[in-house]
Amino acid sequence: MKIVKKILSTLITVILSITLIFMIFVVISSKASGGEPSILGYQLKTVLSGSMEPTFKTGSIIAVKPLENPGNLKKDDIITFIESDEKLITHRIIDVNKAGDQITYVTKGDNNNAKDLDPVLTQNVVAKYSGFTIPYVGYLIDYSKSKNGMALLLILPGILLLSYSGISIYKAIKELDKGKGNDAQGTI
């Protein structure tokens, strides 16, 4: 039973430490990039609408890889592009049109009934979906961008880790005192 408790204690400490480090990374990365966090060259984007459901659930985060040459994309690739009002959209390519040197992509959200109104110019393509999605974590990342969210997501895991460490130390001291009490009774 003591081995199980020790393993659980170590596991909880590791999980809380990793959570604290991850939250620090997310907050710092979001602030440094001025937007979405970036990991190993992939940008994390929050899914804000249901236009790509069931592929992406609203509130999920997706990893996209910035593109240097967006002219090599093909039908069924999922791309992130700049819409006319500087808003980023992530939709699937349903057709590729080539006219001389100009390539445009016809896109559509998986959950939309019709294709997007305007074709996407290659220079407006920002990134390509990498295949990595985590459902509902986007809500947490969006919250971490606010002042209250940043403070809470940095402080809460730290408080939990410190509290857990304090409880562990208290239990260890209690066990030591208990052991000394038994030794003292045996010497009389």
What's the token pair of residue 26?
Answer: 């997310």
SS3 state at 63: strand
Q: Which residues pair with 80 in a beta bridge?
A: 90, 127
Cα–Cα distances (Å) from 16 to 19, 49, 123, 141, 154, in that order, read 5, 31, 43, 18, 12
- Please tell me the distance from the alpha carbon of residue 115 to that of residue 89, in angstroms, as a whole number: 13
Q: Which residues pair with 39 in a beta bridge?
A: 42
Q: Please state the length of the chain.
A: 188
- 130 carries an active-site annotation: no
- Specify whether the CB–CB gap between 44 and 59 falls below 8 A: no
- From the list 17, 33, 38, 49, the catalytic residue is 49
Please list the active-site residues. Answer: 49
